[in-house]
Structure 1
């Protein structure tokens, strides 16, 4: 009877997990396997994939060194800027804001997601273009600053587009903070800065690492913001993939770059989880 009950529970668990497992298999594992097969092939004369087994595509990765360099430099910098801007906002929402206003303020953080990123990025093209910020600076007599089609413009777009994804994990981490720890630190004579460094910041590190990993991983495959705000001068890996798959139709080389990008994402996630576990101690930390 015990065996039958255990078997029944296993069947129920398998039945509940089957839809998610089939979804991951069909939309994650199988496409990655196809991409892995393409990466070891060759480009057909008319473009596309020609079956083969060669490491030529991986050996040719330095040809896209600029895209890798831009991505691996600007993605972490963009994530750090999101952290610098987002942490004070999350701290205010979770610690300082009145509880009756908190839901409204959090909703205002999420509101930009209701509008297409394409529309919002086009708005920044106007703001940073010749009729926007430079025109305003010229009207008030300040030196003209041209930001559009520069790495600075791309970073502005990154911070604007991904800031909510940084704020929310930190907010959740701070919102769960036991306020009695802050009161105890103050009762023991610690200054607010000491309390923040010694209590608040360490306990919020799981949220910080979650937000940083989430933003960084998404930025590694970013295409739209560099394309529009970078003007084709600031190439990310995502831009290189679009060019290889849709323009030059070099599927094997594009697949090799995509496989390399997946490896980079896994490494970034593993490092982030290791750091988060170190700061969190025995507490559970989920980055995915």
Structure 2
């Protein structure tokens, strides 16, 4: 009897001692899951951003690299303090004095905004159809949306040159069917840029929308229709508000890279189109003005932070309302 009591006591003590160890391991894993993304952002975002910002405070020079060093850490703390006093923001002042850069920023935001709206207009019906399709068919439809990523982005943009040029496939089709009498001038215009961006970034809009629409409880729509609500009204009052997280996520995934897009405006837009991605490339490679191009990149990043902050604020409000 005493032996059984000692055995039970030992087992209980072992279980008690094992429980804190399990909790400690679980707490370490949960902290590690949080720490790893921040370390990744620190290494691959903040450090490169600091380097670019550091170059933007320097002055152009005939050297390699083509700028005078700024914030050199070799002189210790006293040397850094002395350099901080001598820092200037002439490159940022120069951006405000030349209307080229302001026009490039405004044009890029407008083009990205229109492209995002067109992508949402096309992507929403696709995502809605995928979400309402039979469960056995959804993986196939999802694969078809992702299928363009299996081909090089550059090759797909080059393919649009063959489609949109005056003697391309689109004009040949329209001329042969009698829709038009002379070829349309689409290539090297902003219309070509819209087409290229919408085509290239459409999956980034469809996937978040599909994720939001698939999780929606469609019995709410059926209940509204049973109570006499027209289908269109039920869509705008129930379906669309519930899919707003997917709309916001997809819009950000399209708008942010579209603002700084370089390949599509360069290949489809031609030399007459003015966007900040082409301006940045020109300053960096053609003019060899790394400080000014770095200042352009820093301002572009600050411009893109605004929609991200708005999205996070909207997400926080949605979570508070859900509670």
Distance 2:193 2:289 in 1: 27
The 8 Å contact of residues 154 and 230 in structure 1, kept in 2 or not, is answered as yes
Instruction: Please identify, of 248-257 and 134-143, the stretch whose mean Cα deviation from structure 2 is larger.
Output: 134-143
CA gap of 1:43–1:6, structure 2 versus 1, over 3 A, is farther
Residue 209 to residue 3, structure 1, CA distance change in 2 (3 Å): same
Task: Indicate whether 1:84 and 2:121 are aligned.
Answer: yes
1:213–1:107 Cα change, 3 Å: same
Q: Which residue of 1 aligns with 2:155?
A: 119
Q: Distance in 2 between matches of 1:70 and 1:180?
A: 44
Q: 2:90 aligns with which of 29, 33, 56?
A: 56
Change (3 A) 1:281 1:153: farther
After TM superposition, the score normalised by the length of structure 1 is: 0.89
1:272 aligns to what? 311
Deviation at 1:278, TM superposition (A): 4.9
Contact 2:166/2:184 (8 A) holds in 1: no
The alignment's C-alpha RMSD in Å is 2.4
Asked whether the equivalents of residues 111 and 259 of structure 2 are also in contact (C-alpha less than 8 Å), the reply is no
Counterpart of 1:181 (choices 213, 220, 237) is: 220
Once the two structures are superposed, residues 30-77 of structure 1 have per-residue CA deviations (whole angstroms, 9 ceiling, x without a partner) of: 100111111111111346221352211111224322321221110011
Q: Distance in 1 between matches of 2:163 and 2:129?
A: 28
Distance in structure 2 (CA, Å) of the matches to 1:54 and 1:262: 20
Distance 1:205 1:42, change over 3 A: same
- Mark the runs of 5 or more structure 1 residues left unpaired by the alignment: none
Q: CA deviation at 1:225?
A: 0.5
TM-score when normalising by structure 2? 0.80
Q: Which has the higher contact order (CA 8 A, sep 6+)?
A: 1
The answer on 1:67 being equivalent to 2:104 is yes
Shift of 1:182: 1.4
CA–CA distance in structure 1, aligned partners of residues 41 and 242 of structure 2: 33
Unpaired segments ≥5 residues, structure 2: 1-16, 71-86
